[in-house]
Amino acid sequence: MALKHTILAFLSRQPLSGYDVAKEFAEGFGSCFWKASQQQVYAELTKLEQQGSVTYEAIPQPGRLDKKIYSITGQGQQELLDWLTKPCEPTAIREDLGVMGLAGHLVPSSVVIREIERRRQLHLDMVQQVKKLDQHFAQNLDALELKDLYMHLIIRRGIRYQEEWVTWCDEALAAIAQAVNR
Amino acid sequence: MALKHTILAFLSRQPLSGYDVAKEFAEGFGSCFWKASQQQVYAELTKLEQQGSVTYEAIPQPGRLDKKIYSITGQGQQELLDWLTKPCEPTAIREDLGVMGLAGHLVPSSVVIREIERRRQLHLDMVQQVKKLDQHFAQNLDALELKDLYMHLIIRRGIRYQEEWVTWCDEALAAIAQAVNR
DNA sequence: TCGTTGTATTCAAAAATTTGAATACAAAAA
DNA sequence: TTTTTGTATTCAAATTTTTGAATACAACGA
């Protein structure tokens, strides 16, 4: 389970509130690599706190519930470290669009084409979004410390992934158009 | 949920036993796009059968449980068709290795390097494996009917995905080596 | 002949993820 | 000024996925 470890990893970089962690999953690093809902994040933070992997400092907020700023503990850091040291397995793409490859012939080709065109645009937008994440790290690459270099490299993987989808959409659209006009 | 629809899609191509479907997920198309365990497949097939989306013909086998050959029904085909017609959203990569980007600096760079080298080999193996799936379809591309063209295209996506990981591993290893020797 | 691999199905429990809410106030935009 | 967006947390339920078994026989190789 990487949700737990992804949260620990976020907190190993800086203390964050649950809201901030959820935002990381929705908009930042997580948007490309690992999505988690607010509820999942809050539930996991509560569990991690009970287990002693994280602690929080409650910031009183006038007239509403305290804001909790979570930090990783020594124990949490050790857990993360142990996990990082163990080999991890690649995961399947788990992409709904794949089903089109199996059964696309059941729907009119126009439906397939429309869907691929839609996806092309979505991935194009994602390229821009993920590139923004990289802006901070992509500057003077030669002087980057390891911490930032790792971040840069993995973000590059995300960018490439999205770019590859755009390329694939173009190729697929061309191939389908050719086959249909035959 | 694409498990249901992936199973329906398999069965839309040909009738299969639960064992065969599970094999598709483990070794065939699914190995790259959507993994599901045997138990998941059998449970889902039972549910689909109860709902009338699939039927099975029981093949008696001397001395053991019947073998069930499942086929998609008209209703199942309609469900699949409806699902394919609806737009689908891209999914996050959901890759454990991503956590390295966030917190790789907590472990010695040798650990990161070893892990990336290991992953490189795994993806290299996957490239070969997925290319095998394509063999049947990659022949005389210009005469491929749509059904097979779609399959070919989506398998190409899987090949590229694995190849991209290999390329990324190479780039990452080079960049890390350079940073460490600085 | 003995172990391994492959065919074939089923049960049960635990863990993870998704979905749908509700609450509450501040700040910015319409 | 009214609505929308953003900050911030929590509860509950349903669904999905993972993990760990158990059963049974056939075929193949050592």
Query: Does residue B20 carry a pLDDT above 90?
Result: yes
Longest dimension (CA), chain A: 70
Query: Does residue B118 carry a pLDDT above 90?
Result: yes
> What is the DSSP code string of A108-177?
-HHHHHHHHHHHHHHHHHHHHHHHHHHHHHHTTGGG--HHHHHHHHHHHHHHHHHHHHHHHHHHHHHHHH
To the nearest whole Å, the CA of A34 is away from the closest chain B CA by 5
Is the CB of residue A23 inside 7 Å of nucleic acid strand D? yes
Nearest CA in chain A to B6: A99
Q: Which of B91, B63, B84, B68 is nearest to B21 (CA)?
A: B68
Q: Which of B176, B178, B165 is nearest to B113 (CA)?
A: B176
> What was the pLDDT predicted at A62?
63
Query: Does residue A79 carry a pLDDT above 70?
Result: yes
Q: Is A66 helix (H, G, I), strand (E, B) or coil?
A: strand
> What was the pLDDT predicted at B62?
64
Nearest CA in chain A to B177: A146
**Cα B91-B92-B96 angle, rounded to 5 deg:** 140
Query: Does residue B181 carry a pLDDT above 80?
Result: yes
Average pLDDT over residues B88-93: 93
- Average pLDDT of chain B to the nearest whole number: 94
Please report, for chain B, the start and end positions of each structural domain, with discontinuous segments joined by +.
2-85, 98-180
Burial class (CB in 10 A: 0-12, 13-18, 19+), B125: exposed
Q: Alpha-carbon distance A163 to A161, whole Å?
A: 5
Amino acid at A15: P
Interface test with B, best of A29, A99, A110, A136 (most B CBs within 10 A): A99
To the nearest whole Å, the CA of A84 is away from the closest chain B CA by 7
DSSP secondary structure letter of residue B139? T
**Cα B6-B12-B16 angle, rounded to 5 deg:** 85
B88, B95, B115 ranked by CB distance to A97: nearest: B88
If one counts every other C-beta atom within 10 angstroms of the C-beta of residue B79, the result is 19
Q: Indicate the range of A40-54, A133-147, A163-177, B71-85 predicted with least confidence.
A: A133-147
Query: Does residue A49 carry a pLDDT above 90?
Result: yes
**Cα A151-A154-A156 angle, rounded to 5 deg:** 105
> Residues A15-33: pLDDT tens digits?
999 999 999 999 999 989 9
Q: Which residues of A touch B153 (CB under 8 A)?
A: 101, 168, 171-172, 175-176
φ, ψ of residue B21 in degrees (nearest 5): -60, -45
- Residue B76, CA distances (Å) to A57, A106, A112, B88 in order: 53, 12, 19, 19
Element (H, E) at A64: strand A64-72
Q: Which of B87, B7, B54 is nearest to A112 (CA)?
A: B87
DSSP secondary structure letter of residue B90? -
Is the CB of residue A20 inside 7 Å of nucleic acid strand D? yes
The verdict on a CB contact (< 8 Å) between B150 and A32 is no
Q: Which nucleotides of D are covered by protein (CB under 7 A)?
A: 7-13, 15-21, 24-26
Q: Which nucleotides of C are covered by protein (CB under 7 A)?
A: 7-13, 15-21, 24-26
Report the sign of the C-alpha dihedral through residues A132, A135, A137, A141, in that order.
positive
> Residues B98-110: pLDDT tens digits?
999 999 999 999 9
Range A2-85: architecture per CATH: Orthogonal Bundle (1.10)
To the nearest whole Å, the CA of B51 is away from the closest chain A CA by 20
Query: Does residue A124 carry a pLDDT above 70?
Result: yes
> Residues A86-118: pLDDT tens digits?
999 999 999 999 999 999 999 999 999 999 999
Nearest CA in chain A to B154: A101
For chain A, percent of residues with pLDDT exceeding 90: 88
The Å distance, CA of A23 to C1' of D5, is 15
Establish how many alpha carbons lie within 13 A of residue A57's alpha carbon, considering only the half-sphere containing its beta carbon. 7
Per-residue pLDDT band at B60 (split at 50, 70, 90): confident
The verdict on a CB contact (< 8 Å) between A98 and B153 is no
> What was the pLDDT predicted at B1?
67
